[in-house]
Structure 1
Amino acid sequence: MNQEKKATLIGLCAIILWSLIVGLIKGVSESFGAILGAASIYSIASLFLLFTVGWTRLKNFPKKYLVYGPILFVTYELCLSLSIGYTTTSRQAIEVGMVNYLWPTLTMASMIIFTKTKTNWLIAPGIVLSMAGIIWVLGGDEGLDISQMMTNISSNPLSYGMALLGALIWSAYCVVTARMAKGINGITFFFMLVAFSLWIKYFFSGIQPEVKITLSSISYLVFASSAMGFGYAAWNLGILKGNSTLLAGASYFTPVLSSLFSSIILATSLGISFWQGTLMVCTGSILCWLSTRIKI
């Protein structure tokens, strides 16, 4: 197996690891609380990244990337981890994770708007299908049920709102930093900033939830940190040295894998309407991706 194939395989492993994150973050938050749990995950993940990806000197960072990159990345990771951590049920955590997976569609839309990326008519049904998929997921067992969707959102507007905000921020990060980074990988530094921000929030929030230290809770913490840290490290290697086109296409199936693994990890049964909505989100994302790659 040549180097490119090995790197591509490692990149595909990153997709598997990321698909575990929603269920694992929820599992950690149930034992450590949303803030302390997230702070612990990113602290340990930072160590993993330090020994795998390594450290990039700050003086090597382009100035704009050093300013905008951390702001967008840290804000997104806070939205991601806390939106899941603040959920009250396992089903809600999986739904919030699905809202976050609007980011591929939003990224393509942002690229078209802000970078004038050429596209075709597939972008319209792609965006519509993705949005409809989220409505379908949040509609509960009935599928397309606006009143039930509003009821679900109103039960925890903070989590759903942060998940949507996170999707918007990550799409901006993907578009804005791609040109600014100039090949510099700041993931280790960014993760340390996320951990630092969460510890500051924890110590000044005044919220000290009961911490349940068990073999199960420690296992969740280690697995979640590994999935976070090694996931980013594997993805970075895959994109740089593997088949980036294949990896980009495969990443759009993450919502399906994430829902599957989360339902197993959190022992939550998901109805047919949820899977229908998940497939709609995936299909919409793929159509958006194809809209910039196929001439019609």
Structure 2
Amino acid sequence: MIVSRNNATLIGLIAVLLWSAIVGLIRSVSESLGATGGAAMIYSVASVFLLVSIGFPKLGEFPKTYLIWGSLLFVCYELCLALSIGHANTNRQAIEVGMVNYLWPALTMVCAILFNHQKSNLLVIPGFAIAILGICWVLGGEQGFDLATMWLNIQDNPLSYGLAFIGALIWAAYCTVTARIANGKNGVTLFFMLTAAVLWIKYIGMGAEPMHFDLNALIYLAFAAGAMGFGYAAWNIGILHGNVTILAGASYFIPVFSAALAAVVLHTPLSLSFWQGAAMVCLGSILCWFATRQK
């Protein structure tokens, strides 16, 4: 199938929209099916979508180091992402946790500079600082930047906030490592299947608590799995055949898009200080991106 550059770019932008919906959808599924059980269902159904849209990769053509490290880092990240949102105490906290996860673009640029010898300029320093400040602003609640309130919020659920931050570090490592060892290969279908398998093992090992299926749960499950699976498939088309500059620029606004969609899906109003913090995260990531662009 031949896709024009404009159509491929549009498909890539659809991926940005789909990924932006993930936080609200994962949270909605976890409310009915549980944090672990819901995540296991999402990645299982998403794996089916990926098998249909992308197919199963020819593993014999993949570098062994990519299969090992790519699988390990990808699975660990997806576990951190899904469980951090699923274990949030409130919907507002789930959105905050999602915002912490979106530190990964700025962290990826820093890792690329440190480990891949990516050329950059000093703009990366204020960019990274603004992204970190944005997260502090989000966690400070109504007061904005307030270290005492931020610490109280983290203490309320250190598991979710910790998993989200660790996930951001892991995804930055994944992007940095796979850029060097993937050799142009894409193992996302395999990685999703491995993530689902690990989640099912964890679910069964914890006693397999019952999942409560109803129409709403099934609808949110289908949307969440579709956003995950088709999001990766659409992004792959966009990156291969579309305008990468437009797609990269749009991806840095995912934190704001994600918060807006999650607020609608979860019926959770967000304060002005939250949006200010989200804007800082986007701005910081964009500055880091500009710092590494070649003339």
TM-score by length of 2: 0.98
User: Which one is further off, 173-182 or 251-260?
Assistant: 173-182
For structure 1, list consecutive stretches of 5 or more residues without a partner in the other structure: none
Query: Hey, what's the Cα distance between the residues in 2 that align with 1:86 and 1:207?
Result: 16
Map Cα deviations across residues 22-41 of structure 1 (whole Å, 9 max, x no partner).
00000000000000000000
Q: Which residue in 1 is equivalent to 2:215?
A: 215
**1:256 correspondence with 2:256:** yes
After TM superposition, which residue ranges in structure 1, 4 or more long, deviate above 2 angstroms? none
Query: Hey, what's the Cα distance between the residues in 2 that align with 1:81 and 1:288?
Result: 26
Give the residue type in structure 1 aligned to 2:151: M
Q: Which residue in 1 is equivalent to 2:7?
A: 6
Give the residue type in structure 2 aligned to 1:42: Y
Deviation for aligned residue 1:133: 0.2
Deviation for aligned residue 1:294: 5.7
Q: Which residue in 2 is equivalent to 1:29?
A: 30
Query: Hey, what's the Cα distance between the residues in 2 that align with 1:132 and 1:241?
Result: 36
Give the residue type in structure 1 aligned to 2:131: S
Q: Which residue in 2 is equivalent to 1:242?
A: 242
Deviation for aligned residue 1:78: 0.3
Query: Hey, what's the Cα distance between the residues in 2 that align with 1:149 and 1:93?
Result: 15
Give the residue type in structure 1 aligned to 2:152: T
Q: Which residue in 1 is equivalent to 2:21?
A: 20
User: Which one is further off, 278-287 or 178-187?
Assistant: 178-187
Q: Which residue in 1 is equivalent to 2:266?
A: 266
Give the residue type in structure 2 aligned to 1:52: S
Q: Which residue in 1 is equivalent to 2:205?
A: 204
Query: Hey, what's the Cα distance between the residues in 2 that align with 1:293 and 1:88?
Result: 40
Q: Which residue in 2 is equivalent to 1:230?
A: 230
Q: Which residue in 1 is equivalent to 2:175?
A: 174
Give the residue type in structure 2 aligned to 1:90: N
Query: Hey, what's the Cα distance between the residues in 2 that align with 1:117 and 1:57?
Result: 30
Secondary structure of the structure 1 residue equivalent to 2:270: coil
Query: Hey, what's the Cα distance between the residues in 2 that align with 1:199 and 1:294?
Result: 44
Q: Which residue in 1 is equivalent to 2:191?
A: 190
Q: Residues 1-296 of structure 1 correspond to what in structure 2 (within 5 A)? A: 3-206=4-207, 208=209, 210-293=210-293
Two-structure CA RMSD over aligned residues (Å): 1.2
Identical-residue share of aligned pairs (%): 60
For structure 2, list consecutive stretches of 5 or more residues without a partner in the other structure: none
Query: Hey, what's the Cα distance between the residues in 1 that align with 2:294 and 2:12?
Result: 24
Query: Hey, what's the Cα distance between the residues in 2 that align with 1:294 and 1:141?
Result: 39
Query: Hey, what's the Cα distance between the residues in 2 that align with 1:66 and 1:97?
Result: 27
Deviation for aligned residue 1:2: 6.7
Give the residue type in structure 2 aligned to 1:245: T
Query: Hey, what's the Cα distance between the residues in 2 that align with 1:281 and 1:119?
Result: 19
Give the residue type in structure 1 aligned to 2:287: L
Query: Hey, what's the Cα distance between the residues in 2 that align with 1:59 and 1:121?
Result: 42
Query: Hey, what's the Cα distance between the residues in 1 that align with 2:254 and 2:232?
Result: 14
Secondary structure of the structure 2 residue equivalent to 1:220: helix
TM-score by length of 1: 0.97
Deviation for aligned residue 1:245: 1.8
Deviation for aligned residue 1:178: 1.2
Deviation for aligned residue 1:206: 2.1
Query: Hey, what's the Cα distance between the residues in 1 that align with 2:250 and 2:294?
Result: 17
Query: Hey, what's the Cα distance between the residues in 1 that align with 2:84 and 2:207?
Result: 19
